[in-house]
Chains A and B, each alone.
Chain A
Amino acid sequence: MSEKTVEIDVENERGETQEQDETRDGAGGNETTREEVAVETRNLNVWYGEDRAIRDINMKVPEKKVTALIGPSGCGKSTFLRCINRMNDQIDGARVEGEVLFHGKNVYDDDVDPVALRRRIGMVFQKPNPFPKSIRDNVAYGLKIQGKTDSLDERVETALRQAALWDEVSDQLDGSGLDLSGGQQQRLCIARAIAPDPEVILMDEPASALDPVATSKIEDLIDDLSRDYTVVIVTHNMQQAARISDKTAVFLTGGELVEFGDTEKIFENPESQKVEDYITGKFG
């Protein structure tokens, strides 16, 4: 029913985006060459009322890689993440300027339906938020509302396997999702996000409410997911960013993207002194 507006023309636009090689220089010269771009932002600004949460962000998120967004609290990294699937629309008083290009199409154009956009860009939140439904219904939720109801059970199983949760819950699919442990709930939420097969998965500090064991499971999972999906993850844990990401974007107070590039380079030899100070723990 609401598949209406955004049929972003995948093939056409994609070709176009990857042609134009990185002639544009984002904040902190990124050398993404020959990589397909999943999401690109141009001069992205977000205001909450009078406060400017992020300023002039230019960034190219590579396809089927893990991109980590790090920075101190209040630096705008979560705001940036929410711009990508327009979850900021839900926040009163949030105003977005600039462009977020998904396959070359600005998702803030009037003819883009945010609901249709979110069907292609899934999201996992900081606090596990399973629905008060059975495990099966949790995973099947996106499929059902998107009308993808053929071979539902298989799709549910696939998603649970991808989320590394199948072995733990296969005998209790009708049990409530709320009865699982925190780490299991978060993996259930990941299964719910990937079940309808989106292209991009946004994760907002997905492991920050979990214990170390559950965290390491989520980290392994993210690594696996990047084979099939583009993952953008916000984390306040720098070691985590270093462990799991291919690209790292460092936001600093004031909502500026200070440096963006290969994770190895950011952590070993950052260009900006501020980034080095942040990473070595001098502030933040």
Chain B
Amino acid sequence: MGRLMQFEGRRLLRQTSLYICLGILVLMVFVSAFSTYSMVKLMGEDASTAIMLASGLSPGDLMCGKGYLISAAGSSSLLMLFGIAAALYFCADYTGGTLKNIIGRGNSRSSVFLTNQAYVMVMGLIFGVICWLSGLFFGSLFWGLGKNWDVSAILRQLLLQMLVMWAFGAFYSFWSVLVRKTGWAVALCILTPGLISTMAALLDIFTTKKDFLVSNYWLTSCLTYASTPGAGAEDVSRSILVALAWFILFCLGGWLISRRQDV
């Protein structure tokens, strides 16, 4: 297992697409901060009001290094780029035929899946950290660091973001191990999170119990709560449980599929 970890680790770190996706992520965070900055500069009070109405937060909470540190992960580009990189990483062994060399020399399907899953989590951590740092950097660059730093609250939200990212990582691994084709896996990883969100939102419309929202039990909502500065304790607690449940479910599903697959 140690050699497999070393082998897969080298593969991850030498995956060009990982660096390309990370580069695009940094660029997207910059574009997001810059466009908000330009909009506020051009429109003045109107833009601030619009931001307040859209997020329910004061512009001061959002438009600063602290605000962008927490909220940068909420952009759809993070999930999309992480999904692409994870699918490319996971499917490379299937499409290149290298899985034959790995399994054929005595590595079990379970250990291969778990190692890959572990590295998708590492990838999630890399994406998360880069996203936070670039959010903090560009937010501070345009508006300054921000006031009232409640470090423990920020850490709690960032940890929740990471948990949700790992649950998404398990979701991407699940699709990759199921379809085993790079193109399909990338497409599914990009499209399905949004598709499930839309379906959940549609179900919410038809739900009679107004205190129960289906969409609250899908990962996208969890990430929204995790990346909203000052999110409520109840939402955060529920998001932790939901993310954990999906993480376990997708890991288990992917592992069961991989165990019975011919290579």
A and B assemble together: no
User: B interface vs A, CB < 8 Å?
Assistant: none
